[in-house]
A and B are shown apart, each in its own frame.
Chain A
Amino acid sequence: MSKLHMKGYILQTLKQRQEGLWDHQIAQQVLKEYGLHGEYWRGNVRLSLTDLYAGGLLEEIDQALDDGSHFGDGKVLFKFRLSPFGLERMRDTGLT
């Protein structure tokens, strides 16, 4: 299990994947890393991604409609990558 807090882990994961990752892929990876299960934690990761995006730390690079296999039928799936500001903030907070 990562010693990092979840948002820190999400940022580090995205830093390693410059081509970006879909939100459901990130959620899957975070849940596996922290040994968590269920809709509550998947929703929690999605909320963290919304925070990070609203704060300008992530960029949205693609969207798709969920066919029901990830977060629910009709929901929007987002593909994110780290923004230059996000990288700057990671440096400020010792995450790089």
Chain B
Amino acid sequence: MNDLSTARTQHHTRSVRWGFTWALWCAILWGAWYVPGTAIWYEAPYVNMAVDQTGPFLMSAAVITMFSAISVVLWLVLWTGVLGKWAEFFRTLRQLRFISKWYFLAAIFGGPMAIFGSFIAIGYVGPIFAAIAGLMYPIVGASVAKLWYAEKITRRAALGIAIIISGGVAVYAPGIFAELSGSGTGAWLGYIGGLMAAVGWGLEGAVAGRALDVTDPDVGLPVRFFAETLYWTVLIVPAIALFTDLPVGDVIVQTFNPWAIVWILLAGLTFGFCYVSWYKAFPLIGVGRGQAFAALYGVFAVIFLALFAGQIPDWNFVIGLALTVFGGFVMYTERSEVLEVLRAVRTHDAEPQDQARSTQELGI
């Protein structure tokens, strides 16, 4: 019996360790994504876009996000094939009414909101700002859980939120004060982009979690990016081309130059597998812990950007980064031990327990 008990503990410890390993990979790849995500702005035709020309600049961000989504899909097509899960992909996609609709909804929040917002923030303000502004997304996740699932936010979670908000103030305040005093660079849209990233990723985690409960994460993710690619290629970009005078077609054609394609493929590679790791971590360690741990991407982003792009963060960004990462951990590490079952749910033996844990780990 002792052998059994030991083996059982080892089995569950292994699962949890895998969960954290996936979350760490997610953080590394997410951080790495900011390098090609920034480099693309320095290639033709995007390098010629001036930030004071709002229309062309936003159109460029939309086209970049579209190419980025297509690139992710290409890598995921390969990944799904390697895993031999194409049949499972179509079986999952077919469950549109009750299951894959959640992935289609998650794709709206993750794509046209969060990733598009990030590209805007990178273009207008810079990649370090974009990375740290996105770190505020756990606040959104917790708020959604409270509103949609009537879950209470524990005192500890509230403390974590307060720390993250103070980090957000450190990141946003100097730039916004500069704008208000007239000495800024007109980067308002960049700040809104940063906010879109935080809100979008928070909502995506909450919405996708529902479908992830009953589907394979390896196919859920291709479904989510398939949906995003459809939005960009069938709806948004054609709509921009139809209803504005912006040179969408020219920008798309000019993107087919070697360096732009290299950066887009690298952005797809890093972001695609970051997402694979993110979605694989959720079922094993919970959405809350997965998100908190993956928030370390901010640290990796700053390191990679310093190494490969020579960008050194301003002091307020360093403070903001420390506070947002610390706040995320305060929020989601409510108990020191890692439980093998992540939710306090109703079982056959007991009534539901009061949830003294992360609000996001319940029901989402």
Contacts and interface: CB of A to CB of B under 8 A. Distances in A.
Nearest to A83: B347
Interface string A57-96: 1010001110000000011100001011100011011110
Interface string B77-90: 00000001001100
Interface string B179-190: 000000000000
Given A64-B4, A75-B7, A56 B341 contact: yes
B342 A56 contact: yes
Interface residues of B, number: 37
Most chain B C-beta atoms within 10 Å of own C-beta, residue among A75, A90, A93, A95:
A93
B213 interface: yes
Contacts of A92: 98, 210
Interface stretch (B42-50, B132-140, B214-222): B214-222
Contacts, number: 100
B141 interface: no
A94 B97 contact: yes
A50 B284 contact: yes
- In terms of DSSP, what is the predominant structure of the interface of chain B? helix
A51 B284 contact: yes
Most chain B C-beta atoms within 10 Å of own C-beta, residue among A7, A11, A57, A75:
A7
A41 B352 CA distance: 34
Contacts of A11: 214
Interface string A17-51: 00000000000000000100000100000001011
A63 B98 CA distance: 33
Contact of B216 (A48, A84, A89): A48
B95 interface: yes
Contacts of A63: 4, 8
A75 to B, nearest CB: 7
B353 to A, nearest CB: 11
B11 interface: yes
Interface in B1-58: 3-4, 7-8, 11, 15
Q: Sort A-B residue pairs by CB-CB distance and give the 8 closest, nearest first.
A: A94-B98, A85-B345, A51-B283, A56-B345, A56-B343, A5-B91, A5-B92, A84-B346
Given A51-B284, A76-B7, 5 more contacts: A50-B283, A54-B342, A63-B4, A93-B213, A95-B214
